[in-house]
Structure 1
Amino acid sequence: MKFSLIVSDLSGGGSVRAFLLAQVLKKLNHEVEIIGFLFGKELYAIPPNGIKIVSIPGKNYPEFFSYSRQVLEKIDGDIIYAVKPKVTSFGLSLLKKISSRRPLLLDMDDWELSWYGGMNWKYRPSLKQFARDILKKDGALRFPDHPLYIQWMESLVQKADAVTIDTQFLKERFGGIYLPNGKDTAMFDPSMYDSKASRIRYDLDDYRILMFPGAPRPHKGVEDVLMALDRLNQSDLRLVIVGGSPYDDYDDKLIQRWGRWIIKLPKCPVEVMPEVVAAAHIVVVPQRDTIIARAQFPLKLTDGMAMAKPVLSTRVGDIPEILDETGYLIDPGSPEQIAEQIDFIFENLESANERGLKARERCIKKYSLETMASTLESVIAGL
């Protein structure tokens, strides 16, 4: 069958989950096409080889309506798979489902409303403010991702024929079938890479490397790692950030304050990421305890697990269950505990690497593309 994967914004983080779902569907021998708006200047992530991408310019209302017709015309899959409950993906997919009578899947890898305060968020403008939000060129309600529209979309989740989610938090709130973030463990295979050679290639050989292979955001706790490095004050430690954040100048702010500890590598195709992660001594995933973090399955966990790296993370959301004693857990928002664990891991690096091998075994069993494919195959069969 052909699947049309509909992405709300190809210049945003949701595209990474879409690429992963596309890889799984191709493993099941389905044809896959990703269709989405591009609200930014470029793709958030480089898609895997063999994944077809169709991008449509992202515009605010009222221009959005004419561009959304282009998206609707291009959705020709036997099954529609919307990524995120947003107007720009799920909303248009619902319209296509009604007009074409094709099955509709919805994937949720985040609680979108959590970015605005969750259930505490309410839209209660004065009449004058409402008029401004609608009529001004940059009015709040002109933005398709306004939280009011997200609220509406979340109330329609049950209209999908099936829902896939990646955390227990989302399952408790919306139901659906648990489809955690997996990894291509054949591609992310540490036996195919030489860690020292990778460090030499990326000019990291003089350092002991902590790696954060993603886009820093305040809830991801990168600041806590940098504060831990301040406490340790060991000149050969470095935090390597891969890709960085396309959303704002948060990376620059981190570098301004903690630049002596940071090495930033450019974003790279998924096929290159195993070689980059191979250069790490420790992969750090220091999520802070926020409603945003509790709703997420950090993809960086499986980067480290698949590559048999010691993973240092926090007791937030599903992370303790995902690692299940194959990593190192500390309390969230605790730079002092991070510093202690960094010292402990490097003092016991041989046993830490053995724990990393157990993490890879768990990743293959629980979080591989094959495991995702088995679950998704059952979902598709039930449509």
Structure 2
Amino acid sequence: MQHSSTQPKISLVVSDLSASGVLRWGGAGVRPFLLAQALQQLGYGVEVVGFQFGEPATLSSESGVTLQTVPGGEYPQFFQSIRQLLGHIQGDIIYAYKPKPTSLGVALLKKSMSNRPVIADIDDWELSWHGGDRFEYRPSLKQLGRDILKPKGALRNPDHPLYLKWMEGFVSKADLVTTHTRFLQKRFGGTYIPNGKDINLFNPDRYDTDTSRQRYGLSDYFILMFPGAPRPYKGLEDVLEALDRLNQPHLRLAIVGGSPYDDYDSQLIERWGRWIIKLPSYPYQQMPEVVAAADVIVVPQRNEPAALAQFPLKLTDGMAMAKPILATRVGDIPEILGDTGYLVEPNAPDQLMEKVQWILQNWPEAQERGRQARERCVQLYSIQAMADGLSEVIAPMVAKIPITTLSDRLSNR
């Protein structure tokens, strides 16, 4: 849908628009740009503004959104960056991605200056990486001084966990909240807007499975695929333990991309290397072809806060590509899959082993479930479904925007 000049413009404020932030893969498939796609389908103009804390990266040319970045940094110099970014926020509605000082904090500051409504989008529990509700910052007076005054002092970091904790208290200052999991909705309130998938790109009819398997060296095996970054809470050890117990030479776990955070995937290879095929990272546009090479997509999350807060994109990657899904009953996974996949309890290698055996012995039914998963993804987890949910949230807010606000913007063109 074309953006009308009389439609409000929406500023998506993102904390880190760098190659190590949301612009990995050119922004494709990452939550802020999924929101942008859905908003564009509704006819809104969209700009994406934010700080750049790492290497610069370009936005995928198909996005059609305006991108404005300001160099990031540390306090106190970072206050100047904030001032610069405030000047770039032109939208009639401000949509802050993540409850961070570098996104929601800036958005609420702009609201105080311009009275523009703010929506807070929460797609992760940021504090879960720092102990969650157990996090405490209780330094000695001397340590506090070091953290504030020394170069590279901890409190000079704009997203120090102390500030993240403070920002959780400011979520209620937003006019609306959207979340992408029930866990986050329960914690922060607001409206559930799950991630949408580009079902035209992730369309199994566009790819040949045998060709993909040959291209990626997987033709000789029955492939369980994990198209994501390994981390302990993602449960890959349970899958590998299950493969150990099955001990069938034609089975392999293909890990796509590896861990950008640490050497965890190397640890997995050291212990279970005989079962692992490690594939490199690929551009987002290539991922459907990679997923096409899989027999089964595995999403074996463990029952931990970090997993509960996340919407596993690899789940809808597999669903959209009509692959059988083997996953655990953690967080939103049972709701997302419905009865179109296979579910086991978390931390249960024996159950995974039994379910893999069952899938092997009942392959036609597993393929049919994959086809049903595709249909469910199209209906509930497409970009269009995301747009439909956002429409219900934003339309009442748009109705309250003063006509003078739109008139001022149009007169400044």
TM-score of the alignment, normalized to the shorter chain, above 0.5: yes
1:290 aligns with 2:304: yes
**Which deviates more from structure 2 when the two are superposed, residues 238-247 or residues 353-362?**
238-247
Amino acid in structure 1 at the alignment position of 2:375: E
- Structure 1 residues 72-111: aligned runs within 5 Å: 72-111=86-125
Amino acid in structure 2 at the alignment position of 1:142: R
The 2-side partners of 1:215 and 1:51 are apart by 28
Pair 1:370–1:233, CA change in 2 (3 A)? same
1:138 aligns with 2:152: yes
TM (norm. structure 1) is 0.93
Whether contact under 8 Å (2:324, 2:341) holds in the other structure is yes
Displacement of 1:83 after TM fit?
Answer: 0.6
Query: Which of 235, 241, 249 is the aligned partner of 2:263?
Result: 249
Amino acid in structure 1 at the alignment position of 2:254: V
Query: Which of 21, 46, 53 is the aligned partner of 1:12?
Result: 21
Pair 1:202–1:248, CA change in 2 (3 A)? same
Amino acid in structure 1 at the alignment position of 2:13: I
Displacement of 1:46 after TM fit?
Answer: 7.2
Amino acid in structure 2 at the alignment position of 1:49: E
Whether contact under 8 Å (1:46, 1:270) holds in the other structure is no
- Unmatched 5+ stretches in structure 2: 1-7, 398-413
Which residue is equivalent to 1:335? 349
- Structure 1 residues 212-223: aligned runs within 5 Å: 212-223=226-237
Displacement of 1:48 after TM fit?
Answer: 7.0
Whether contact under 8 Å (2:301, 2:330) holds in the other structure is yes
Amino acid in structure 1 at the alignment position of 2:62: N
The 2-side partners of 1:48 and 1:267 are apart by 20
TM (norm. structure 2) is 0.86
Amino acid in structure 2 at the alignment position of 1:64: F
The 2-side partners of 1:314 and 1:179 are apart by 22
The 1-side partners of 2:55 and 2:395 are apart by 38
Q: Secondary structure at the match of 1:59?
A: coil
Q: Secondary structure at the match of 2:284?
A: coil
Amino acid in structure 2 at the alignment position of 1:303: D
- Structure 1 residues 156-175: aligned runs within 5 Å: 156-175=170-189
Displacement of 1:233 after TM fit?
Answer: 2.9
Displacement of 1:367 after TM fit?
Answer: 1.2
Amino acid in structure 2 at the alignment position of 1:180: P
Whether contact under 8 Å (1:48, 1:270) holds in the other structure is no
Displacement of 1:37 after TM fit?
Answer: 2.6
The 1-side partners of 2:203 and 2:267 are apart by 34
Displacement of 1:295 after TM fit?
Answer: 1.7
Q: Secondary structure at the match of 1:132?
A: helix
Query: Which of 158, 163, 166 is the aligned partner of 1:152?
Result: 166
Pair 1:69–1:269, CA change in 2 (3 A)? farther
Q: Secondary structure at the match of 2:285?
A: coil
- The root-mean-square deviation of aligned C-alpha atoms, in Å, is 2.1
Amino acid in structure 2 at the alignment position of 1:265: L
The sequence identity of aligned pairs, in percent, is 62
Displacement of 1:261 after TM fit?
Answer: 2.9
The 1-side partners of 2:209 and 2:175 are apart by 45
The 2-side partners of 1:81 and 1:204 are apart by 42
**Which deviates more from structure 2 when the two are superposed, residues 173-182 or residues 68-77?**
68-77
Query: Which of 62, 79, 82 is the aligned partner of 1:68?
Result: 82
The 2-side partners of 1:48 and 1:358 are apart by 32
Displacement of 1:199 after TM fit?
Answer: 1.0
The 2-side partners of 1:206 and 1:348 are apart by 20
Deviations 1:326-368 (A, max 9, x none): 1111111122222222222122111101011111111122111
Query: Which of 63, 73, 76 is the aligned partner of 1:50?
Result: 63
Deviations 1:243-265 (A, max 9, x none): 33323333333333333333333
Which residue is equivalent to 1:206? 220
The 1-side partners of 2:225 and 2:64 are apart by 27
The 2-side partners of 1:368 and 1:48 are apart by 21
The 2-side partners of 1:95 and 1:76 are apart by 14
Deviations 1:175-218 (A, max 9, x none): 10110112122222112221111111222222221111122222
Amino acid in structure 1 at the alignment position of 2:93: I
The 1-side partners of 2:137 and 2:271 are apart by 36
Whether contact under 8 Å (2:37, 2:63) holds in the other structure is no
